[in-house]
Amino acid sequence: MSVAEIGAMIPIVALIIPIVALTTRHKRKMAELEVRKLEALAASGKGAGNDRTEWLEDRVKVLERIVTDKGTNLADEIEALRDRPQIAPRRPERSDEA
């Protein structure tokens, strides 16, 4: 490179450095604003995961109701089985054809 080419590059580099700095600062501020926005949504309960959370809570309520309803029925069925007379287990029939 000649001295003239280096001399022409100096002002170009001098202009590029502040442009890169401004762009970087702008991107950082936008990222900070996005983080604040997401934090505010999470604090208010209106975040993207809230729908899923509500669905899961509803599902757990249904499952709890099923378990508690079936629990009393299951206990009654077990007691009914205890009251029945015991039957001797069947022995498998053997075939002595060999």
3-state secondary structure 46-88: CCCCHHHHHHHHHHHHHHHHHHHHHHHHHHHHHHHHHHCCCCC
Alpha helices in 2-49 (DSSP H): 3-44
Confidence of residue 64 (pLDDT cuts 50, 70, 90): confident
Q: What is the pTM of this model?
A: 0.41
State the pLDDT at residue 26: 93
Across 7-11, 58-62, 63-67, least confident range: 63-67
pLDDT digits (tens, 9 = 90+) for 34-43: 999 988 887 7
